[in-house]
Structure formats: structure tokens, C-alpha cells
Structure 1
Amino acid sequence: MSNEIAGAQTPQVQGKFLGIVVCFILGNGSLFAWNSMLTIEDYYVALFPDYHPTRVLTLVYQPFAFAITCIMAYYEAKMNTRRRNLAGFSLFFIGSFALIILDIATKGRGGLGVFVGVCIISAIFGTADANCQGALVGDLSLMCPEFIQSFLSGLAASGALTSALRLITKAAFENSKDGLRIGAILFFSVTCLFELLCLLLYKFVFPKLPIVKYYRSKAAAEGSKTVASDLAAAGLGTEQHGQAEEDPQICKRLSTKELLVENVDYAFDIYLIYVLTLSIFPGFLSEDTGSHSLGTWYALVLIAMYNVWDLIGRYLPLIPCITLTSRKGMTCAILARFLFIPAFYFTAKYGDQGYMILLTSLLGLSNGYLTVCVLVEAPRGYKGPEQNALGNVLVVCLLGGIFSGVVLDWLWLIGKGW
């Protein structure tokens, strides 16, 4: 009897480690192209000195990411999750390749026309993000918590990895002719290959893992319509799904509005995390921290420190004794982060680069830690279709916070002249 029970539990653990690794890589890929664009900000600042590229590109990216995610979250129950993710990674690959072609075709010249082209590609990245991030967070929310944690860590790792690559390429080509440009082209060549890897992993590897098939079959049995395409790709039938559709008791689920009402504090929390973070990172760190002994390396070091500590913060919830599970505790911690605003203002005005690096590290650490705490805790206790829907809703709030933060970031320019 015990052997039968152990055998029945096998699909829940078979392929789990590989699944965690793939989720980490997919998290990387969901932001790798966009972080690449942000991380070569020194090249774009040199190429478009009059257009505030670090702020404008983010401002172009976010409305597309936010608006399309809102639409997809509204129709989440009827959306084909597999097609969303494949479309997203394809757009990331195409956009990265287009940046290389644009730079080669214009021979690294600046100007308004080229900047508009870069902005269009930024909008493509926003569209890709809307497809991937909401779909993956929703999909992984109905699986084991380790998957969503690994995916969120991958999101942060993309920033750390792109920062590390940028520092390497800058050091390698700094003294060569057109060093910034060569480094940027090499950077996006790596990005193209990485996005292609993510596309292939999601299409051919992830859906065939036993643990993934187990959770998706379970979600289908609970009435989920979003996993049918993934189950078909894994070679499974949808008989359970058909049975679920015939059973109104199984199909009964909370509406998106009801889920939002029940989790309004989590939605508010994730929104506030990113309002604060994006009102400082990357625009303020890139343009408003003054001149220091690190020279042109200063902004890159700050962005790298943020990304590294953001990644570290996303692994801290794996330690049970320091995991924040209290809903009120999360809200209090998130509200306390707004003390970063006066701290950054006075440090930029009166402090030296050491204090600014410390503050930036704390900003990243708290951002990563609190993001994982919220997105792991919120879906607990719901059925698969509800977890998917709630994951999509929370990503809408996350992107809404990013968009609001990007707009508020412009307030740092008041009194400085544009």
C-alpha cells in the first residue's frame, strides 16, 4: 500500500529540479532583452544626449506592457497560455535582432529618426513582456511554490547578468575605437541567443516535465481552460478537462473581481513596491546622482549593485525563519520603504558614492525580498484556475506600479532644466 502511495506521488516530484532550472531561465528571458536595453544606457546617453533615453525608453515600454497585460488579465480564463508565452519570447528575439540591424544600418549614428526606431523596439519589448510575464506568473502560480520563486529569481538574475556582461564589455572595449558601440552590438547578440534558448525550452522541454504535466492536469480537472494547449503539447488528452466542464461544482470559481476584492492588500502591496522602486531606478540613478571618482562607471556600478541585491533578496524567502507571511507585516514593510525617497535625495545632494551604493543595494534587496513574499503567499489556498487568474491580476498591479513609478521618476528633474 505504501509503495502505491509513493508511486502516486511520483509525478509531483519527478523533474522538479529541472523544472526549477527552466523556470529560472524563463524568468531571465522574460526581462533579459529589456534589461539589456537599460544596461547599455551609457551608449544610448552618448548616442542621444538630448532625449533622456533612460527615462523615455522606459516611458514608451511601460504603457504597452501595462495596457496589454490588463486586457489579457481580463480575458485570462479564455486565453491560450502557451501561445502567449511563445509569442512573447518570439517578440523578444525579433526585437533584440532588430536593434542590431538598426545600429548596423545607421552605422551607429544618432538623431531623432534612429531614436524613434529604438523607441518602437522598446514598445515591442513591452508587448512581449505583457505576453510572457503575466502568462508565466499565472501558470506557475498553480504549480509548486518553488517554481514561482525560481521564476521571480530569474527576473532579478537577468538584471544582474546583464549588468555583469555590460561591465565586462565596457572594460574590454573602453579604449578601442567605437568601443561603446561594439560592446552594445555584442551585448544584443548574446541577448538574441538567450531569447532563442528560452523559446526552445518553453516549447519543447517545460511542458513535457512530469511535474508540470501533473499540475496542469490537476488544474484542468478543476476547470482550467488555459492549460489545454500545454497538455496537448505534452502528449496528454483533455478528457479530465472535458469532465470538469460537465461538472458545475468543479467549474465554479471566483471571478477576477472577487479575487481582487479578497486580495486587495496584496494588489496594493505589489503596486507600491514598484511605484517606489521605479521612481528611483534606473532614471534617477543614471542621471541625477552627480559626478564621482568612478566617472562613467558610476551609473553602471549602481545599476549592477541594485540588480545583484535584488537577486539576493529573492532567495531570502527560502529561509523559513526570515520569510514574511503576515499580510499586515508586508504592508508595513512596504510603506516603510518610502523613506528611501528622502534618503536618496539627501545622499545625492550631500553624500559620497559609498553611501549611494549602500542605499541602492538596500533598495534592490528589499524589492526582491518583498516581491517574492507577496507573489508566493497570495495564491495559497485557491484552486488552479483561481491561482492563474490571481497571478495575472497581481502582474497587472506590478506593471501598474512600474508605469506609475516611471512617470513619477520625472519629478526628480523639477528645477534642473531639461
Structure 2
Amino acid sequence: MLELPDINVESNMGRAPSKFEITPNNECWFVYSIYFLLGIGFLLPWNAFITAIDYFDQQYPSYHTDRVFSVFYMLPNLCSLLLLVKLVAQHVLPYTRVMGGFLLFLCALLSVPVAHALEESGHLSKPGSFALICFGCLLNGVADGMVQGSLFGEAAQLPVAVMQELCQAAT
């Protein structure tokens, strides 16, 4: 099992280590593992949309799906992050923001099979199913702004190693 190195207080010019430099007693890397999994969790839904671009190009050949998905993801992501910083962060608990974001991720990912099923059954046209998938990308962007903003804000209050795990998972 890997262990974090002990902090050498002498190398810090005789000063006591700050709360960010002290590594907590963390048997089995539990906290680090949780933040690593959370980082994978907020990266995975967008990767699911963007790596299936060949499928979407085949299903919707007249649309530029990679460009459309990027716009439907990035703009809501930025807007939700700005709203989170300016308005929501003071009134909604981080747990609620993270759980709400992951529920939105679930809805975003379910938009693809639901759109496909509705199109196959004749209840939705091809442009309608593409619009539903674009709405899923929009939900994905909103959720990503909520979850990333909340998780990075929470991890910033913990020791540096926790932030490192979150960043490693998000790359």
C-alpha cells in the first residue's frame, strides 16, 4: 500500500505546518478513494457523449453532432458554475448540490436510450430525438457545473492530497 511521505517541519524554516500540509490519518486511503471515484463520476457522462460521436454521426448525418454537443454542454456548464458561485453556494448545502448534479447526470445519460426508443416506436421524429439528446447534453453541462464547482470547493478545504486525487480522476 502506498503511503504519503511524512512532512519535514525543519524544511519549512522552523514554522509549524499549516492545516493543508498535515496529512490526516487515513487508513486504506478511504477519503482519497472516494474523491477519486467522485472525480471519475463527473468526468464519465461527458466522455460518454463525446466518445460516442461516431454513433451520433451515423444516426444524425445531417447534423454536426460534435460541435452541437460541445455548445450544448459548455454554455450551460459555464452558466451553472457562475450561478453556483454567485447565488446558490450560500443557500444550498454542498451535499445537495453534488447529489442533485449526479441525478441530473443520470437524466442526461438516460436521454439517449429514451430518444432512441421513442424514435424507433414512431413517437418522435429524427429531429425530435436529436433535440432530446441535445437537451441531455444541456443537462450534462448544468450537472457538471454543479458537481465540479461543489467538489473542488469542498476538496480545497481538505489536505492537498485530496485535491490531487480529485484532479487525477478528472484528467
What band does the TM-score fall into relative to the shorter chain? 0.7 to 0.9
2:8 is aligned with 1:21 = no
Aligned partner of 1:107: which letter? E
Q: 1:288-303 alignment to 2 at 5 Å?
A: none
Return the alpha-carbon distance in structure 2 between the equivalents of residues 118 and 70 of structure 1: 24
2:118 is aligned with 1:105 = yes
- Deviation, structure 1 residue 12: 2.2
Return the alpha-carbon distance in structure 1 between the equivalents of residues 65 and 28 of structure 2: 41
- Deviation, structure 1 residue 147: 1.1
More helix by share: 1
Structure of larger gyration radius: 1
- Deviation, structure 1 residue 15: 4.5
- Deviation, structure 1 residue 22: 1.1
Q: Give the SS at the match of 1:13.
A: coil
Q: 1:142-221 alignment to 2 at 5 Å?
A: 142-156=157-171
- Deviation, structure 1 residue 87: 0.1
Return the alpha-carbon distance in structure 2 between the equivalents of residues 100 and 33 of structure 1: 14
Return the alpha-carbon distance in structure 2 between the equivalents of residues 114 and 100 of structure 1: 10
- Deviation, structure 1 residue 77: 3.7
- Deviation, structure 1 residue 16: 6.7
Runs of 4+ in 1 over 6 A off after TM superposition: none
Return the alpha-carbon distance in structure 1 between the equivalents of residues 25 and 52 of structure 2: 40
Q: 1:322-401 alignment to 2 at 5 Å?
A: none
Return the alpha-carbon distance in structure 2 between the equivalents of residues 78 and 137 of structure 1: 18
Aligned partner of 1:86: which letter? M
Q: Which residue of 1 aligns with 2:106?
A: 93
Q: Give the SS at the match of 2:61.
A: coil
Return the alpha-carbon distance in structure 2 between the equivalents of residues 70 and 16 of structure 1: 36
Aligned partner of 1:23: which letter? Y
Q: Is the 8 A contact 2:39 2:169 kept in 1?
A: yes
Q: Once the two structures are superposed, what CA deviation does each residue of 1:342-365 show, in whole Å capped at 9, x if it has no partner?
A: xxxxxxxxxxxxxxxxxxxxxxxx
- Over the residues paired in the alignment, what is the CA RMSD in angstroms? 2.2
Q: TM-score by structure 1 length? A: 0.33
Aligned partner of 1:127: which letter? V
Aligned partner of 1:29: which letter? G
Q: Which residue of 2 aligns with 1:116?
A: 131
Q: Is the 8 A contact 1:68 1:130 kept in 2?
A: yes
Give me the identity figure in percent: 22
- Deviation, structure 1 residue 149: 1.2
2:52 is aligned with 1:37 = no
Determine which of 118, 121, 141 is the counterpart of 1:126.
141
- Extract unaligned runs of 5+ from structure 1: 1-10, 157-418
Return the alpha-carbon distance in structure 1 between the equivalents of residues 107 and 127 of structure 2: 22
2:95 is aligned with 1:82 = yes
Q: TM-score by structure 2 length? A: 0.78
2:86 is aligned with 1:69 = no
Q: Give the SS at the match of 1:143.
A: coil
Aligned partner of 2:35: which letter? C
Q: Once the two structures are superposed, what CA deviation does each residue of 1:171-195 show, in whole Å capped at 9, x if it has no partner?
A: xxxxxxxxxxxxxxxxxxxxxxxxx
Q: Is the 8 A contact 2:119 2:126 kept in 1?
A: no
Q: Is the 8 A contact 2:53 2:66 kept in 1?
A: yes
Return the alpha-carbon distance in structure 1 between the equivalents of residues 150 and 41 of structure 2: 14
- Deviation, structure 1 residue 42: 0.5
- Deviation, structure 1 residue 110: 7.6
- Deviation, structure 1 residue 114: 1.4
Q: Give the SS at the match of 2:24.
A: helix
Q: Is the 8 A contact 2:111 2:132 kept in 1?
A: no
Determine which of 52, 67, 77 is the counterpart of 2:64.
52
Q: Once the two structures are superposed, what CA deviation does each residue of 1:312-345 show, in whole Å capped at 9, x if it has no partner?
A: xxxxxxxxxxxxxxxxxxxxxxxxxxxxxxxxxx
Q: Is the 8 A contact 1:72 1:79 kept in 2?
A: no
- Deviation, structure 1 residue 61: 1.2
Question: What is the number of residues matched between the two proteins?
Answer: 147
